[in-house]
């Protein structure tokens, strides 16, 4: 599978640049795959295991319930208070330009 991604990356680079193949590019593409596998092996050796999406979905409601229990608040977010209208945001007669004043530029 890695070979497919490396080939696609090489193809995109080849098309996007001046079509000169550089040794550093090929060496980087070929060495990054084994480095990724080696890094994953070291993490697995130390007991690292990624969580599946199913496990993450199950943890989300439990964590939310724990947060709301700690804060003592309900699960609904607090309502935002609407700010008072200002000269620029009100919908009253101040929105309309008076005829005797020229438009500012």
Read off the pLDDT of residues 65-74 as tens digits, 9 standing for 90 and up: 777 777 655 5
| Cα 105 from Cα 99, distance rounded (Å) | 16
Structure token pair of residue 67: 């947060």
Contact 25, 52 (CB under 8 A): no
Contact 40, 60 (CB under 8 A): no
- pLDDT attached to residue 75: 53
Query: Is 98 a domain residue?
Result: no
Query: Is 29 a domain residue?
Result: yes
Query: Is 94 a domain residue?
Result: no
Query: Is 89 a domain residue?
Result: no
Structural domain total, the chain: 1
CA-nearest of 42, 44, 13 to 5 is: 13
> Is 0.85 topped by the overall pTM?
no
Average pLDDT value over all residues in the chain: 77
Range of the domain at 45: 2-71
């Amino acid at each position: 599978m890695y070979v497919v991604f490396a080939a696609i990356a090489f193809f995109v680079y080849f098309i996007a640049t001046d079509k000169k193949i550089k040794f550093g590019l090929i060496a980087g593409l070929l060495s990054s795959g084994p480095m990724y596998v080696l890094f994953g092996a070291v993490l697995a050796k130390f007991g690292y295991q990624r969580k599946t999406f199913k496990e993450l979905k199950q943890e989300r409601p439990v964590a939310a319930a724990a947060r709301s229990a700690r804060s003592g608040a309900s699960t609904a977010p607090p309502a935002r208070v609407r700010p008072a209208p200002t000269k620029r945001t009100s919908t009253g007669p101040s929105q309309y330009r008076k005829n005797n004043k020229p438009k500012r530029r």
